[in-house]
């Protein structure tokens, strides 16, 4: 599927969120599952540790999904993305609702920051609508006249039109987005659960195999791995399931 040239093996397609509150706990988790090659650093950990966690991951030759969901005016978005590009992150999130000018500026700046530091170009991807926003909240709080799925699709198209590499989406949306946005558009999907794992608070889940068949490029899978009795074994099991789909 899209971006397949980036996959050295199936492990590169599974991104594990480093949802830990402190640097020590995050590093302990990274070192507990050495086979994981791609980690997601979100707002809590980044605000808590600053760029130290990124340096620790780079020192271990890990790929990094910096999920800070930037949303600001174009100049500020560009500055933040340029700095992220300098860190050598692989994936970076922004909100599509920041608008086209900001998205274009963010993407250009991320590439400039990476080039200036001698890093490979990062892929900037967009959050379309936060999954915590219900159809009701979209209509009555945000006063959006479009239905939620249509609004999410329009935001994906805006991201694509602005030159971004892809979007974060539910696996339920993946098949339609893959059809509309084409093969090279990255679809990064949380909400993935192997059948042997608990759904936790995720409502509409797909298995890794189903999500990949639907068109997902990357799977973000957290608790089925991180809180498993044996996280390394759980990760290996998921890699095996993915290999059965992708060959």
CA distance 183 to 194: 25
Among residues 105 and 211, whose Cβ is nearest to ligand C5P? Answer: 211
Please state the closest distance from residue 8 (CB atom) to ligand C5P, in A. 23
Please state the closest distance from residue 220 (CB atom) to ligand C5P, in A. 5
Token representation of residue 204: 């509409």
Please state the closest distance from residue 189 (CB atom) to ligand C5P, in A. 9
Please state the closest distance from residue 171 (CB atom) to ligand C5P, in A. 10
Binding site for ligand C5P (CB under 6 A): 17, 19, 42, 131, 168, 190-191, 200, 202, 220-223
Among residues 3 and 173, whose Cβ is nearest to ligand C5P? Answer: 173
Among residues 44 and 72, whose Cβ is nearest to ligand C5P? Answer: 44
Number of CB atoms found within 10 A of residue 67's CB: 24
Backbone angles phi, psi at 131, to 5 degrees: -70, -15
Among residues 229 and 247, whose Cβ is nearest to ligand C5P? Answer: 229
The catalytic position among 58, 69, 100, 143 is 69
The bridge status of strand 186-189 relative to strand 38-42 is unpaired
Per-residue HEC secondary structure of 102-153 comes to: HHHHHHHHHHHHHHHCCCCCCEEEEECCCCCCCHHHHHHCCCCCCCHHHHHH
- Give the nearest residue (CB) to ligand C5P: 222
CA distance 85 to 107: 10
Active site residue 40: no
**Active centre residues (catalytic):** 69
């Amino acid at each position: 599927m899209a971006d397949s040239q980036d996959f050295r093996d199936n492990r590169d397609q599974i991104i594990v969120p480093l949802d830990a509150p402190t640097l020590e706990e995050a590093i302990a988790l990274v070192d507990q599952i050495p086979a994981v090659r791609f980690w997601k650093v979100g707002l809590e950990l980044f605000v808590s540790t600053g760029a130290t966690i990124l340096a620790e991951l780079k020192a271990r030759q890990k790929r990094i999904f910096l999920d800070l969901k930037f949303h600001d005016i174009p100049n500020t978005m560009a500055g933040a993305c340029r700095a992220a590009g300098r860190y050598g992150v692989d994936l970076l999130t922004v909100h599509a609702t920041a608008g086209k000018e900001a998205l274009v500026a963010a993407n250009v700046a991320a590439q400039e920051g990476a080039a200036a530091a001698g890093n490979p170009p990062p892929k900037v991807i967009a959050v379309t609508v936060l999954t915590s926003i219900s159809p009701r909240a979209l209509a009555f709080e945000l006063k959006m006249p479009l239905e939620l799925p249509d609004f999410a699709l329009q935001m994906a198209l805006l991201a694509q039109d602005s030159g971004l590499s892809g979007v974060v989406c539910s696996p339920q949306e993946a098949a339609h987005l893959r059809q509309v946005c084409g093969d090279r558009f990255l679809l990064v999907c949380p909400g993935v659960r192997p059948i042997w794992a608990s759904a936790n608070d995720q409502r509409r889940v797909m298995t890794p195999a189903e999500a990949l068949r639907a068109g997902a490029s990357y799977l973000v899978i957290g608790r089925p791995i991180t809180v498993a009795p044996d996280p390394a074994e759980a990760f290996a099991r998921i890699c095996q399931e993915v290999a059965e789909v992708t060959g």
